[in-house]
Amino acid sequence: MSSALEEAIAHHRAGRLEAAELCYRQAREAAPHNALIAGLLGDVLQALGKDPDAETAYRGALRLDPSLAVVHMNLGLILRRQRRLGEALAALETASRRAPTLPEVQLNLGLVQYESGHADAAIAAYRAALALRPDYAEVYLNLGAAYHRQRDYGEAKAAYRAALKIQPGYAEAHYSLGVTFYDEGDLDGAAASYRRALALAPDHEGCRNNLAFVLQVLGRGAEAVELYRRGVAAGPHPATTARYLSLTSLYDPGTDLDARYRDQRKAEDRFARPLYRAVHHENVADTRRRLRIGYLSSDFRDHPVGRNIEPLLSARDRVGFEVFAYADVATPDRMTERFQAMVDTWRPIAGLSDEEVAAKIRADRVDILVVLAAHFDRNRPLVCAYRPAPVQISFHDLLTSGLEAVDYFIGDRTVLQRRPREQFTERIIRLPSIYAHAPLTNVPLTAPPSAASGRVTFGSFNNPAKVNDQVLALWAKVLTAVHGSRLLLKFRNWYLVPSLQERISVTLCGLGVGPSQIQFDGAPDLTASHLARYGGVDIALDTFPFSGSTTTFEALWMGVPVVTLAGETVASRWSSSILRVLGLDELTAETPDAYVTAASALARDGPRLAALRAALRDRICRSPLVDARLRARQIERVYRAVWRRWCACAGGKI
């Protein structure tokens, strides 16, 4: 062995990677046909983050000796990191043929199969790895993820528990077990697993945020806020956690709106302002040309925001507007495929940084960037801080972005009052109405249940996170005001969670509601069966201060009138907006007492209730709620107007 190679290996083992690289290069110059040296050089280059150079070294090693299975594997890892999954798969399959008894090869082959969307092949590879090494906890973790993707939650949990049997302190396995419990609807189990994971890994941000959300659903909002605050103070991605912290205010009737706004501006100073730069846009300031509209969202899928945007895109003016979709969609579905067909250019952005996304938008010369539901899900409001487009708009969000870089906030005349109690950094744009949804098909109407039983059933299919103690107190007044009435609660299968049932039952019964008046529904959440459950509801009771939107539309479509309490915030007035469009302002209450009166009066007036139910779907079909062309033209007029304003300012500050 040459002295340069000996020295390189010594540096490599000691972690002195730069020195090891230099020595390996010297050794390779002395022995250019030595495949082992080229492979070891590739290992060091990979550890240094020099993936292109490492790829070159690995390919050189394989030209000299194609039998080096570990080099094939390491090449596959580099290609996987670069998202060149087809090439990575080929490299790892070669490694598997060359070394079928190496469990690490099977693990990495499974990872690439999984990321390529081949869950069955991934499971086969993981099983092969476990046959070679039965105590391989990491393989069990990934095996569980593959079963989870197939929604085989039983096998997923078995795999995670096998990993924990081997390695009880495996925080990631506890976390993954929690995710599986959550997707099954076992929120108590999810919370317990997340707590175990956090005890082992206190800085696990995904676990902390997931636990906070579950606690919010279970009615423990104060604990959720505390978890989010810890993440904002010291988490690895505090800007994301700050978004989620802002969202908790939408559920809390006691939110101090001025304090929330101050917190949002502080978040802007901390996270966005350091990214602000003076930017010159090359976009041509021509008011008549075809405009490039970019939509930035994680919700191009079967999701409430996706369903609201679909009519706008399906009926868009393709001559006057070119549409780009910047989609951070982790799990595409059939609706994702429909969105891809609706837009001119589809840009997947999952895994890219905000700065990289902004660079793509700028390179596409987008004129107007529309950020959808910026505070929710995996959405990316900080992309706007880089000012990739001349005009930037917040749409379908429920509170201000808090960013000076976002120019406009779109609402309507109901959700955004003339003198809103909430503060906005954006200039307000009010449409005649904002909600849009495609008509629902193959869901027949049914007679109200009270027609047969004589017993009125109130219902709420809203997320239980919205069902706070003040909501329950008002519902109790409605139930006690209408003799013999009952309350049906449904959202996915979450109302089967024991701790959630206990909280609601104890609260309502403590306010005079009989146990027999409360019904929890955990029916499967398939669209047709979910909508059919409205056949068991006479009148829907909305939540506050976070009102319904999709749930309100679905109830009305199924002939179920909705009684809502309008508040001072955008989030509290969404149902009111839908009802106003339908000419049903009498179902919007301005005070809690008016809410009880509206619900109880309708419940007692059987003929009025029956007539209203029979007419609701026809009202919707004749309304702007399902008029895709009308909504598209309204939005496009807004785009033209804000573009003219930018042009008039000669591309300066709006």
Looking at residue 273, what DSSP letter applies? G
**Counting Cβ atoms within 10 Å, is residue 454 exposed (0-12), middle (13-18) or buried (19+)?**
exposed
Summarised one tens digit per residue, pLDDT across range 296-309 is 999 999 999 999 99
Domain assignment present for residue 265? The answer is no
**Residue 527: is its pLDDT beyond 90?**
no
Q: Do 456 and 411 belong to one domain? A: no
Q: How confident is the model at residue 650 (pLDDT cuts 50, 70, 90)?
A: low
CA atoms within 13 A on the CB side of 476: 19
User: Span 193-210, mean pLDDT?
Assistant: 96
User: Span 12-38, mean pLDDT?
Assistant: 91
Average confidence score pLDDT of the chain: 95
Peptide bond into 545 cis (omega under 30): yes
Q: Do 305 and 379 belong to one domain? A: yes
Summarised one tens digit per residue, pLDDT across range 63-84 is 999 999 999 999 999 999 988 9
pLDDT of residue 472: 98
pTM of the model: 0.91
Q: What is the CATH number of the domain that holds 35?
A: 1.25.40.10
Domain assignment present for residue 650? The answer is no
Q: Do 68 and 27 belong to one domain? A: yes
Q: What is the CATH number of the domain that holds 494?
A: 3.40.50.2000
Give how many domains the chain has, as a whole number.
Answer: 3
pLDDT of residue 235: 83
User: Span 613-631, mean pLDDT?
Assistant: 96
Domain assignment present for residue 77? The answer is yes
Among 181, 196, 220, residue at a domain's last position: 220
**Residue 448: is its pLDDT beyond 90?**
no
Q: Do 329 and 382 belong to one domain? A: yes
Q: Do 19 and 76 belong to one domain? A: yes
Q: Do 420 and 509 belong to one domain? A: no
pLDDT of residue 3: 81
Q: Do 592 and 491 belong to one domain? A: yes
Domain assignment present for residue 256? The answer is no
User: Span 586-611, mean pLDDT?
Assistant: 96
Q: Give the Cα separation of 90 and 96 in Å (integer).
A: 10
Q: What is the CATH number of the domain that holds 332?
A: 3.40.50.11380
Domain assignment present for residue 578? The answer is yes
Q: Do 498 and 392 belong to one domain? A: no
Q: Do 165 and 18 belong to one domain? A: yes
Q: Do 290 and 389 belong to one domain? A: yes
pLDDT of residue 305: 94
Domain assignment present for residue 248? The answer is no
**Residue 653: is its pLDDT beyond 50?**
no
User: Span 119-131, mean pLDDT?
Assistant: 97
**Residue 654: is its pLDDT beyond 60?**
no
Domain assignment present for residue 370? The answer is yes
Kindly provide the b/e burial profile for residues 226-259, where b requires at least 16 CB atoms within 10 angstroms of the residue's own CB: ebbbbbbeebeebbbbbbbbbbbbbbbeebeeee
pLDDT of residue 564: 98
Q: Do 49 and 141 belong to one domain? A: yes
Domain assignment present for residue 211? The answer is yes
What number of helices (H) and strands (E) belong to the chain?
28, 13
Q: Do 366 and 307 belong to one domain? A: yes
Among 431, 457, 474, residue at a domain's last position: 431
Domain containing 556: what range?
A: 449-626
| Of the candidates 272, 335, 348, 269, the residue with the CA atom closest to the CA atom of residue 307 | 335
Among 367, 397, 431, residue at a domain's last position: 431
Hey, which residues does 370 pair with through a beta bridge?
295, 393
Summarised one tens digit per residue, pLDDT across range 368-427 is 999 999 999 999 999 999 999 999 999 999 999 999 999 999 999 999 988 888 999 999
Summarised one tens digit per residue, pLDDT across range 313-365 is 999 999 999 999 999 998 889 999 999 999 999 999 998 999 999 999 999 99
